[in-house]
Amino acid sequence: MMMKYRTIIVEDEALIRRNVSRKFKELNTRFEVIGEARNGQEALQLIEQSVPDLVITDIQMPVMNGLELAKYLYFAYPHVKIVILSGYHEFEYARQAIHYKVEDYLLKPLSEEQLRALLDAMELKLGSAVDSLSHVSVVLEDQVKTEDIAASVKLYLKQNYMHEITLQDMAAQMHFSVDYLGKCFKKVTGETPLKYLTGLRLNEAKRLLAAYEHLDIKTIGGAVGYADSHYFSRIFKNKTGLYPSEYRQQWEEQKKALSMDQGNPDGLS
């Protein structure tokens, strides 16, 4: 069965929103619209529920605009591809979103040719993670090195750590047994794929906890692949010795101490 890339359309004008969704269906590509939102806040609720591959968003919207949405996704959902849909007079303003790794900017009204070109480009980018797994089986006859297998697993985990991942799924796609895949990875890296995945997730969680005080623990846990916030807290505590809230508090205290030192370099009171 052909893989489908899930897409969310974010646009406050209903007519434009429906028109974009209709074009997706008419093109009959590997992209399917799984939801529509009238503003960034509604989009976030959809994204948390379904975790799409692609978000196409307008800029000027009430409650939360497109740039605010792009900024949030950049830090919380780094795998999600973002495309800005803007009017001509907003185009230069839209370029501010380059800081948030926006993939492209499309001008309204959106033509079928524009959309097809965009989706062709997005398909190549989104397919890279799958290709990193499948290429191993393609060249299996050439006796792939253990290092190549481990590298493919590492790439896949780095690109998909925020999703639910099982060794069984990866092994099936590579046409290896679970035991063989695990042994290859541990031989090269010295650790199991699960331990490597946990490390990726917790490193990203530490970054989010330290840098974004407005993000709650549940949101951060979900952003790094832990839908259950209590489980996330237990894993974090087990690996770091601190609960997420304690880690954030410790970091804030360190920042304050550093700020005081910088403000008083000679240690004078």
Query: Based on the domain organization, do 49 and 116 belong to the same domain?
Result: yes
Query: Based on the domain organization, do 122 and 170 belong to the same domain?
Result: no
Condensed to tens digits (0 to 9), the pLDDT of residues 228-264 reads 999 999 999 999 999 999 999 998 888 777 766 666 5
Query: Based on the domain organization, do 90 and 178 belong to the same domain?
Result: no
CATH of the domain at 246: 1.10.10.60
- Which residue, of 68, 97, 126, is where some domain finishes? 126
Q: Of 6-10, 13-17, 66-70, 130-134, which gets the smallest average pLDDT?
A: 130-134
Q: pLDDT at position 141, please?
A: 38
Q: Of 20-24, 94-98, 248-252, which gets the smallest average pLDDT?
A: 94-98
Query: Based on the domain organization, do 93 and 188 belong to the same domain?
Result: no
Query: Based on the domain organization, do 78 and 176 belong to the same domain?
Result: no
- Structural domain tally of the chain? 2
70 touches 100 (CB < 8 A): yes
Q: Which two tokens stand for residue 7?
A: 């897409």
In a domain, 131, yes or no: no
Query: Based on the domain organization, do 242 and 194 belong to the same domain?
Result: yes
In a domain, 50, yes or no: yes
Q: pLDDT at position 139, please?
A: 43
Q: Write the CB contacts of 81 (distance below 8 Å, at least 6 apart in sequence).
A: 53, 54, 55, 103, 122, 125, 126
In a domain, 268, yes or no: no
In a domain, 225, yes or no: yes
CATH of the domain at 77: 3.40.50.2300
Percentage above 90 pLDDT, the chain: 32
Condensed to tens digits (0 to 9), the pLDDT of residues 40-70 reads 999 999 988 887 889 999 988 999 988 889 8
- Which residue, of 126, 151, 179, is where some domain finishes? 126
Per-residue 3-state assignment (H helix, E strand, C coil) for 220-257 = HHHHCCCCCHHHHHHHHHHHHCCCHHHHHHHHHHHHHH
Query: Based on the domain organization, do 96 and 61 belong to the same domain?
Result: yes
What is the rounded distance in angstroms from the CA atom of residue 27 to the CA atom of residue 17?
16
Neighbouring C-beta atoms of residue 126, cutoff 10 Å:
19
In a domain, 132, yes or no: no
Categorize the per-residue pLDDT at 227 as very low, low, confident or very high, splitting at 50, 70 and 90. Answer: confident
What is the rounded distance in angstroms from the CA atom of residue 36 to the CA atom of residue 55?
10
Query: Based on the domain organization, do 110 and 164 belong to the same domain?
Result: no
Query: Based on the domain organization, do 189 and 252 belong to the same domain?
Result: yes
Closest of 50, 46, 66 to residue 58, by C-alpha:
66
Q: Write the CB contacts of 138 (distance below 8 Å, at least 6 apart in sequence).
A: none
Query: Based on the domain organization, do 112 and 182 belong to the same domain?
Result: no
Query: Based on the domain organization, do 157 and 109 belong to the same domain?
Result: no
Per-residue 3-state assignment (H helix, E strand, C coil) for the chain = CCCCEEEEEECCCHHHHHHHHHHHHHHCCCEEEEEEECCHHHHHHHHHHHCCCEEEEECCCCCCCHHHHHHHHHHHCCCCEEEEEECHHHHHHHHHHHHHCCCEEEECCCCHHHHHHHHHHHHHHHHHHHHHHHHHHHCHHHCCCHHHHHHHHHHHHHHHCCCCCCHHHHHHHHCCCHHHHHHHHHHHHCCCHHHHHHHHHHHHHHHHHHHCCCCCHHHHHHHCCCCCHHHHHHHHHHHHCCCHHHHHHHHHHHHHHHHHHHHCCCCCC
- pTM exceeds 0.75, yes or no: no
In a domain, 133, yes or no: no
- Which residue, of 80, 100, 126, is where some domain finishes? 126
Could you tell me the sign of the dihedral formed by the alpha carbons of 121, 127, 128, 131, in that order?
A: negative
In a domain, 148, yes or no: yes
Q: What residues make up the domain containing 73?
A: 5-126
What is the rounded distance in angstroms from the CA atom of residue 177 to the CA atom of residue 32?
32
Condensed to tens digits (0 to 9), the pLDDT of residues 168-194 reads 877 776 677 788 888 889 999 999 999
Query: Based on the domain organization, do 206 and 95 belong to the same domain?
Result: no
User: What Rg value do the Cα atoms of the chain yield, rounded?
Assistant: 22
